[in-house]
Amino acid sequence: MSPKHLEEMYDAVIVGAGAAGLSAALGLLRSPAMAELKANGTEPKVLVISKLQPLRSHTGSAEGGIAASLGNAEADDWRWHYYDTVKGGDWLVDQDAAKLLAQYAPETVVNLERQGVAFSRLDDGHIAQRRFGGHTRDYGKEPVKRAAYAADRIGHQILHTLWQQCVALGVRFAEEWYVTDLVLEDGADGADRRVAGVVALDTHSGQVKAVRARHVLLATGGAGRLFHTTSNSWDLTGDGMALALAAGLQLEDVEFVQFHPTGLAHTGILLSEAARAEGGVLRNKDGEAFMERYAPGHADLAARDVVSRSIMAEVDAGRGVADPKDPDGPRDCVWLDMTGIPAERMEGTLPQVVETIRAYADLDPAKDLVPVKPTAHYTMGGIPVDTDGAVYQWRDGARHTVEGLFAAGECSCVSVHGANRLGGNSLLDACLFGTRAGRAIAARIAEAPVAGEPDPTSADAVDQASRARGEQLAQLLAGADGANGAMDDNPYALMARLGGVMERAAAVRCDAASLAAALEELRGDLEPRAEVLRAHEGTAALNQEVTAIWEVRHLVELGEAVLVASDARHESRGSLKRTDFPERDDERFLAHSMTDASGAVSWQPVHIEDYPPQAREY
């Protein structure tokens, strides 16, 4: 679906149509401010641009659950959820944000239910809840049933429900448009820069479009494709984060990438944590259930970073196993033993897990041990935002808001996940803070809606960026003479190479030498190669290679920021394990890294409100 015509100026453009982008659209359109505006006869001009048809968004792959202290299955308290989130994030969590997350989680989940999500149910008709790693009762005691779920398809249910609600409200989409530029302009009288709009490639027509907007919200998702082994879809190329870098903005805490412990061997496809919540056990080559040794009391349901590192430690100690599909390959997997889960229960509560194992490993989890390996899963860091989704810059020890620019979901960092995200908190983050950002934008629109006439200066800035991008597109397409003959470089090969480099240097653990080597490879080899890429075919319409060229450039730029930030943090915390700095160092690094495209890193103190840092033990 594409808009029949583009408005001269939009009140708001939302980039991305997963849980965060769609929640923002709904939060915006349903807010009291908008209702009032509409009652006065002004229709807000809102457009959602996404590089995929919305139903293809990666939110749909989330399996396990969405965390909320509903207390449906057993007693729970939002303060316990708040504490677990802070502890899970290794105290790099901004506690004001985490408090909101936990407090408004029940409301968020109930609202999803009332919009149509087909949650699994208890016999009494309430939303069912299950245990999930790191979620406990009574500030770190035994596990608690906090994750509301829909079999193991919660993401699919939420994504489709949000899209359905957008259909009900008549939200306008520009689907399969790829945003290439975030355009900022200088504010009046030396004020901070403000948003002017975006430039996007309509992939169907192959035309570059200038989209002017008073407010832009980035909700483009994560960047799992930085790594070879990832649970992320092929489209998670860190576009929003790279757009922010290219516009001269900073990224917060990008060195923290969560590796989900149970990717299905080398496919990287996720086997939900629910597999362990329902009784699955990790075993090494000797059959030992080793997690009890690393995390007494929590064992297989310890936080994800703990489990991933434990798996790597077993592999390093020579107790790993080979993927049965590649018996002579590296012994870099361990077994997931689900044979103790009654077959009927497995089919009922883990259908997706069972199906994935059958289809992609050709194994029967009721009888066979399943090879698993940590897989790049979630970027805790991202575009820095406040609790209303407003993007800011950290400068001179203070936050400076970028007027009109917002972000939500995985591409953003409101810092509820800190150094490691708890399962069930990402959908919650995307839905809750997406909605809040939408409402915040609505309040601003209500103050000064687009009356019809464009803002002359922002028109200039966006048109200029659009012209430049159009010229670049023409260059990429010029001289393409088919793919015959010897294959030279192409973005797909380059992306694979980047994934290998990043994986060797930074997956699960790293040190100064591995980071320096990778940075040299990115700057000395991959970046120049990405710069000279050209399309192999000259038709602009649906030329996927053009999009892939821009994606790989985004990934390389973002990869550099990840490596630089990892190098700057001389400690181990949460998902970041520096083998040369194995301990957490609260003296120096109880702070968020703020990294820009030039490689400059500054530090922003963590907001500590209720829970002072403690040792993080599971």
Partner 1 sequence: MSDMTAPTTVILRVHRFTPRPERERARAASPFARKASPFGGSSASARRKPRGKQWVQEYVVPARPQDTVLDCLLAVKRTLDPSLAFRYSCGHGMCGSDAVAINGEPTLLCTATVAQWAKAGAGPAADDEGFRRTGIPAQGGDDAGDQGAADAQDSADAGDGSLGVIELAPLPGFPPLRDLIADIDPMLDQIRRLKPYLQADGVLATTEDGKIDVFEYLQDPGQLARYETLSNCIACGVCEGACPVYAGGDAFIGPAALIAASRFVNDSRDTKAMERMDAIDTEDGVAACQSVRACSRQCPRGIDVGEEMWQIVAKVRER
Reduced 3-state DSSP string for 211-261: EEEEEEEECCCCCHHHCCCECCCCCCCCHHHHHHHHCCCCEECCCCEEEEE
Among the candidate windows 152-160, 331-339, 435-443, 462-470, which touches partner 1 by CB under 8 A? 152-160
Backbone phi, then psi, for 55, in 5-degree steps? -70, -10
Residue 126 binds partner 1, judged by CB under 8 A: yes
Residue closer to partner 1 by CB (options 539, 598) is: 539
Give the DSSP H or E segment for 291.
helix 291-294
Which DSSP string do the residues of 175-192 spell out, in sequence order?
ETEEEEEEEEEPPGGGPP
Residue closer to partner 1 by CB (options 175, 255) is: 175
Beta-carbon neighbour count of residue 351 at 10 Å? 13
Residue 110 binds partner 1, judged by CB under 8 A: yes
Separation between Cα atoms, residue 552 and residue 484, nearest integer Å: 23
Among the candidate windows 194-202, 487-495, 500-508, 566-574, which touches partner 1 by CB under 8 A? 487-495
Residue 504 binds partner 1, judged by CB under 8 A: no
Footprint (CB under 8 A) of partner 1, residues 256-285: 267, 269
Query: Exactly one of 146, 214, 225, 304 is catalytic; which is it?
Result: 304
Footprint (CB under 8 A) of partner 1, residues 306-345: 324-325
Give the DSSP H or E segment for 12.
strand 10-15
Minimum CB separation of residue 480 from partner 1 in Å reads: 8
Sheet containing strand 66-67, strands side by side: 66-67, 143-148, 129-136
Minimum CB separation of residue 482 from partner 1 in Å reads: 7
Residue closer to partner 1 by CB (options 492, 603) is: 492
Cα Rg of the chain, angstroms: 23
Footprint (CB under 8 A) of partner 1, residues 437-476: none
CA-CA distances (angstroms) from residue 521 to 289, 456, 518, 524, 559? 39, 43, 5, 5, 11
Residue 414 binds partner 1, judged by CB under 8 A: no
Which DSSP string do the residues of 72-94 spell out, in sequence order?
SSS---HHHHHHHHHHHTTT-S-
71 by Cβ neighbours in 10 Å (0-12 / 13-18 / 19+) ranks as middle
Residue closer to partner 1 by CB (options 196, 498) is: 498
Contact (CB, 8 A) for 378 and 257:
yes
Q: Note if 304 is an active site residue.
A: yes
Footprint (CB under 8 A) of partner 1, residues 39-68: 52-53, 55-58, 60-61
Residue 478 binds partner 1, judged by CB under 8 A: no
Among 31, 50, 108, 120, binds partner 1 (CB under 8 A): 120
Separation between Cα atoms, residue 218 and residue 471, nearest integer Å: 25
Residue 125 binds partner 1, judged by CB under 8 A: yes
Minimum CB separation of residue 53 from partner 1 in Å reads: 7
What is the pattern of x (binds partner 1, CB under 8 A) and - over residues 521-550? --------------xxx-xxxxxxx--x--
Separation between Cα atoms, residue 143 and residue 304, nearest integer Å: 14
Minimum CB separation of residue 350 from partner 1 in Å reads: 14
Footprint (CB under 8 A) of partner 1, residues 372-391: none
Residue closer to partner 1 by CB (options 103, 464) is: 103
Among 50, 157, 180, 379, binds partner 1 (CB under 8 A): 157
Residue 362 binds partner 1, judged by CB under 8 A: yes
Among 69, 220, 356, 595, binds partner 1 (CB under 8 A): 356
Contact (CB, 8 A) for 476 and 534:
yes
Separation between Cα atoms, residue 613 and residue 606, nearest integer Å: 11
Among 39, 486, 487, 615, binds partner 1 (CB under 8 A): 487
Residue 239 binds partner 1, judged by CB under 8 A: no
Among 11, 90, 94, 235, binds partner 1 (CB under 8 A): 235
* 2, two tokens: 């594409």
Strand partners, 251: 595
Strand partners, 400: 393
Residue 360 binds partner 1, judged by CB under 8 A: yes
- Helices 425-447 and 154-169, axial angle in degrees (round to 10): 20
Separation between Cα atoms, residue 176 and residue 42, nearest integer Å: 28
Contact (CB, 8 A) for 284 and 310:
no
Separation between Cα atoms, residue 416 and residue 429, nearest integer Å: 8
Minimum CB separation of residue 581 from partner 1 in Å reads: 36
Footprint (CB under 8 A) of partner 1, residues 163-202: 164-165, 167-168
Minimum CB separation of residue 376 from partner 1 in Å reads: 14
Strand partners, 395: 398
Residue 115 binds partner 1, judged by CB under 8 A: yes
Q: How many residues bind partner 1 (CB under 8 A)?
A: 72
Residue 359 binds partner 1, judged by CB under 8 A: yes
Separation between Cα atoms, residue 586 and residue 601, nearest integer Å: 18
Residue 496 binds partner 1, judged by CB under 8 A: yes
Among the candidate windows 106-114, 384-392, 429-437, 604-612, which touches partner 1 by CB under 8 A? 106-114
Looking at the annotation, which residues are catalytic?
304
